Amino acid sequence: MSITLREIRETDLEQIMLWRMDPDITRYMNTNPKLTLEGQKKWLASISANEDVRYWVIEIDGEPAGVINLTGLTNSAGDLGWAYYVGEKRLRSMKVALSLEMSMYDYVFDVLGKHAVYSDVFTLNKGVIVLHQLCGCEIVEEKKQHVCKEEVWYDVTFMRMTCDKWRQIRDNKQYEKIDFGSV
């Protein structure tokens, strides 16, 4: 299996829109958006002009499968946020998840020189919390009833990986290294 990343193209927007509105994806996200292709074009223009964020399409064996992003690239404290989803259910696997997460740490700490990476996960998404912990993340905080979505409140677990910790544990991890590029 080959996992690659590339910049988002306008021709990807309809597929990204469908993934992002899929209830299987949105159930673990802060919003259930009602997107349009015109809105997606504005979003692409916005993120393309924003130096603080970076988005990639995840390709598995050459097929678009999902999206991964970093936020906080201009944060002088050296802290970033990140998120991803694999929208193509048949292409989801533990190998893909581990390779994406651990390769992202390599990129953030070795290429970008950042200090820490944070993620927030709906507490009910126990599988992703365990996945992050397998990669070495620690739970920083759990906030009760932190996100309200369609009149339902969700608890959120905040997690972190630091550069120092990643450098201590990386050699004991096995994963397919994914090239995030130099920017």
How does the average pLDDT of the chain come out, rounded? 96
The pLDDT-based confidence of 92 (bands split at 50, 70, 90) is very high
For the chain, the domains span 3-172
pLDDT attached to residue 1:
84
Which residue in this structure is represented by tokens 């990204």? 16
Asked if residues 159 and 132 have their Cβ atoms less than 8 Å apart, the reply is yes
Asked if residues 160 and 116 have their Cβ atoms less than 8 Å apart, the reply is yes
C-alpha separations of 20 from 85, 113, 167, 183 in Å? 9, 30, 33, 25
CA distance 44 to 41: 5
* Confidence check: pLDDT of 24 > 60: yes
Asked if residues 7 and 183 have their Cβ atoms less than 8 Å apart, the reply is no
Q: Which of 176, 128, 102, 168 is nearest to 29 (CA)?
A: 128
pTM attached to this predicted model = 0.94
Question: What digits encode the pLDDT tens for the residues 43-87?
Answer: 999 999 999 999 999 999 999 999 999 999 999 999 999 999 999
Average pLDDT score over residue span 88-104: 97
Domain 3-172, what architecture? 3-Layer(aba) Sandwich (3.40)
pLDDT attached to residue 182:
58
36's CB contacts (< 8 A; 6+ apart) are 17
